[in-house]
Structure 1
Amino acid sequence: MTPKLLISRTMPDRVVTRALARYDVTLREDLDPLTEAQALAALYDHDAVLTTLGDAFTATVFAQAPAPRCRILANFGVGYNHIAVAAAKASGVVVSNTPGAVTDATADIALTLMLMTARRAGEGERLVRSGGWKGWQPTQMLGQHITGKRLGVVGFGRIGKAIARRAHFGFGMEIMFFNRSTVEDPGMPATQVASLTALMAGCDVVVVAVPGGAATHHLIGSESLAAMQPHAILINIARGDVVDETALIDALQQRRIAGAGLDVYEHEPLVPPALLALDSAVLLPHLGTAALEVREAMGLMALDNLDAFFDGQEVPNRVA
């Protein structure tokens, strides 16, 4: 029997075409993620779900589906904190993700935010569009030079290392990193520090690149932000709730740090008005993997996981 697959949001044509060749596909065209009620229905109505960011496969949902029809959630993306993985496993549901496909694109966005924030590019573009620019001046909108400065990376997995490589070899930046486990071979000149506070205190730019989930919720809060230098900037390309948004807004408003570049938000897609009002914040609409070839690669990797599962083989990117 052909497995019945729900694709929870619109995908690139190449991904949909391949899925249709093997599965009985229901392609959901709603722009919003699955609610808990919709996620519960998906578990009962389909053999598999190609799930996307924000789909509410919570512990509450799995508690109502102890023996679901669905046997695998193939997540479209590396982050899967919207899925209660332990509860899925207890219900007999496999969970997979797409780690390698997103690394370079996400690292590129981190560098984009670093440059935009340090050089006040967002603020400058708004000035030009407003008609308020009066021409070049020697002291106009002076930002910071990042070449040769010290970069701190919080989380030194695939994405963290990719960011560090770009920063070191492209901009001559000195690299420090904080990671929960020891990294024996960073792959470049880089120094692992023992504490998050030490990293935050010692760097000109700090990039957050840890996975989301309970273990990293509000990892960057008032204490770590207070350790940063007044000229330092914070970049978050991880998950929004890794950073305590209220504490970050306070640090920016009080000018205890110079700026922040964000691609993700604590209650996405809601962005606090206080954050929107800050010229020192560069705000992107979760563009980390927003390139056609990257989204195609993510979808095809998710289908690789599904194909392996239904072929009775080991799922290559299984997380539970």
Structure 2
Amino acid sequence: MKSSIYITRRLPDSIVESLEAYFEIKMWEEDTPVPREVLLRETQNVEGIYCLLTDTIDEEVIKGAPNLKVISNMAVGFNNIDVEAAEQRGIVVTNTPGVLTETTADLTFALLMSTARRILEASDYLRNGDWDTWSPMLLTGQEVHGSTIGIIGLGRIGEAVARRAKGFGMNLLYYNRTRKIEKEEEIGIQYRELNELLAESDFVCVMIPYSPSVHHFIGKDELAQMKTNAILINTSRGGIVDEEALYEALVNKQIWGAGLDVFEEEPVSLHHPLLSLSNVVTLPHIGSASVKTRLKMAQLAADNIIHVLNDKSPLTPVNS
């Protein structure tokens, strides 16, 4: 008898077919998050859950699924899963790192460039019919080439962003919980303590994974240490930046601008104060959103379930 799994969102046919070869499948067929009551009901008898960051797989879900052996998250982050509760039950938790590194780094640098050079603002200026002449200081932004970038979190994606910045002749700085001496030499990047990085950088890129210990890691005090011409870029997780403090810093011109792909509450409300500011570029969490990368993520999440439920080691485990 085949094992059963539950998929919390409609997936491409090729991914579903790869899973149907091994398992009995139930899947939420909508392109919206599965309702809580449906999730609790449909996971009661399954051995695997294939989920997204938008699904809260907490202790209630885990306890309500006595046969559960694996939770496969189609994301690098896994703060939507109670890993400790899973660990206590001997349930394997997996994620999808690596395959989205370069794509997310591309988006991060695109967001940096768009914010610095006021790309969206300039496009709207043209489309709204406001462009009637050339002017010396019209829509002038911040220089990217030759400026200083400070990367908070030198993981895979942080390293990839640093390589792109190097191509623009930028001065590379980083802060990390542990120094990476070998990467300093390999990439040509210099370590700074956080306060030093904030004070020296023209661009501050937040690249650390979310956990409760880094909630509002960038807050009022950190923003006050940044240059008045500095730009904050966040493509990691929304909760790492205190959005209220960021709004105040932007309105009071403590910093020059911000580029955000993530928010503390997603999807973000259209009434969110940050969306009212012209010096903020906002995106709907599309860091890994290329066709090629999303298909790789989806297949890796599927392969993790296939491995675990066929008594093989998971490809990318979160827990032991």
Same fold (TM over 0.5): yes
Q: Per the alignment, in what secondary structure is the counterpart of residue 99 of structure 2?
A: helix
* Count of residue pairs the alignment pairs up: 316
Paired residues of 1:33 and 1:56 also in contact (CA < 8 A):
no
Amino acid at match of 1:150: T
Q: Which moved more, 1:310-319 or 1:52-61?
A: 52-61
Answering whether residue 265 of structure 2 is matched by residue 289 of structure 1, we say no
Paired residues of 1:42 and 1:70 also in contact (CA < 8 A):
no
Q: Which moved more, 1:130-139 or 1:217-226?
A: 130-139
Q: Per the alignment, in what secondary structure is the counterpart of residue 6 of structure 1?
A: strand
Paired residues of 1:9 and 1:31 also in contact (CA < 8 A):
yes
Paired residues of 2:19 and 2:306 also in contact (CA < 8 A):
no
Which stretches of structure 1, 4 residues or more, deviate above 6 A after TM superposition?
none
Please point out which of 216, 233, 236 is paired with 2:234: 236
Aligned to 1:146: 144
| CA distance in 1: counterparts of 2:140 and 2:93, whole angstroms | 48
1:200-219 mapped onto 2 (5 Å cutoff): 200-219=198-217
Amino acid at match of 1:11: L
Paired residues of 2:3 and 2:47 also in contact (CA < 8 A):
yes
Q: Per the alignment, in what secondary structure is the counterpart of residue 29 of structure 1?
A: coil
Please point out which of 154, 157, 169 is paired with 1:156: 154
1:175: Cα distance to partner?
0.8
Q: Deviations over 1:95-121 (max 9, x none)?
A: 000101110111011001100000001
Paired residues of 2:118 and 2:141 also in contact (CA < 8 A):
yes
Q: Per the alignment, in what secondary structure is the counterpart of residue 45 of structure 1?
A: coil
| CA distance in 2: counterparts of 1:178 and 1:60, whole angstroms | 37
1:91: Cα distance to partner?
2.6
1:93: Cα distance to partner?
1.8
Q: Per the alignment, in what secondary structure is the counterpart of residue 76 of structure 2?
A: coil
Answering whether residue 21 of structure 2 is matched by residue 21 of structure 1, we say yes
| CA distance in 1: counterparts of 2:261 and 2:122, whole angstroms | 19
**Seq. identity, %:** 37
Amino acid at match of 2:317: R
Q: Deviations over 1:26-63 (max 9, x none)?
A: 2212333345444433441321111101201124544x
Paired residues of 2:8 and 2:39 also in contact (CA < 8 A):
no
Aligned to 2:169: 172
| CA distance in 1: counterparts of 2:153 and 2:15, whole angstroms | 31
Paired residues of 1:237 and 1:263 also in contact (CA < 8 A):
yes
| CA distance in 1: counterparts of 2:14 and 2:165, whole angstroms | 33
Q: Per the alignment, in what secondary structure is the counterpart of residue 225 of structure 1?
A: helix
Q: Which runs of 5+ in 1 are unaligned?
A: none
Q: Per the alignment, in what secondary structure is the counterpart of residue 299 of structure 2?
A: helix
Aligned to 1:79: 77
1:68: Cα distance to partner?
2.1
Q: Deviations over 1:240-262 (max 9, x none)?
A: 11111111111111111000000
Paired residues of 1:43 and 1:68 also in contact (CA < 8 A):
no
1:245-256 mapped onto 2 (5 Å cutoff): 245-256=243-254
Aligned to 1:46: 46
Amino acid at match of 1:264: V
Q: Deviations over 1:269-311 (max 9, x none)?
A: 1245311110000001111111111011001111221121122
Aligned to 1:30: 30
Task: Give the TM-score taking structure 2 as reference length.
Answer: 0.94
Aligned CA RMSD, in angstroms, stands at: 1.6
Amino acid at match of 2:176: N
Q: Which runs of 5+ in 2 are unaligned?
A: none
Paired residues of 1:36 and 1:61 also in contact (CA < 8 A):
no
Q: Which moved more, 1:181-190 or 1:30-39?
A: 30-39
1:265: Cα distance to partner?
0.4
Aligned to 1:319: 318
